[in-house]
Amino acid sequence: MNIKNNQFLFELEGIINDRLAEGSDKSYTYKLMQDGINQVAKKVIEESSEFAIASIQKKNDTKDIVWEAADLMYHFLILLNASGVTLNEVSKELENRNKG
């Protein structure tokens, strides 16, 4: 796996922070956060359902799975932000679980 590609999740977390700091109504990220954590959580639920359905229906084509996984991860990062949690904290927890 390409390390640079893995690092993009952390870069995306920074982009999300930047969009929120800019406070532009043109930013989907900003507008979603303005709707509050409940709406962000609903988007994560919606996207996780779409990801699960795409995974079940894949039929030798992973394009939809990749698309829905990307949507889920993006909204997951927004929800982490809304919850005051960083991707690094989640990564560290996974690392600790792997050691145990």
The per-residue pLDDT for 50 is 96
What does the pLDDT look like over 46-82, one tens digit per residue? 999 999 999 999 777 899 999 999 999 999 999 999 9
Find the CATH number of the domain harbouring 87.
1.10.287.1080
CA–CA separation, 86 and 91 (whole Å): 9
Cβ atoms of 51 and 68 closer than 8 Å? yes
Domain that holds residue 47: 3-99
What's the number of CA atoms in the CB half-sphere (13 Å) around residue 73? 15
Q: What is the model's pTM?
A: 0.90
- Which tokens is 33 given? 């956060």
Task: Provide the domain count of the chain.
Answer: 1
C-alpha distance from residue 20 to each of 9, 17, 44, 60, 74 (Å): 17, 5, 18, 38, 14
**How does the average pLDDT of the chain come out, rounded?**
93
A 10 A CB-CB count for 74 gives: 19
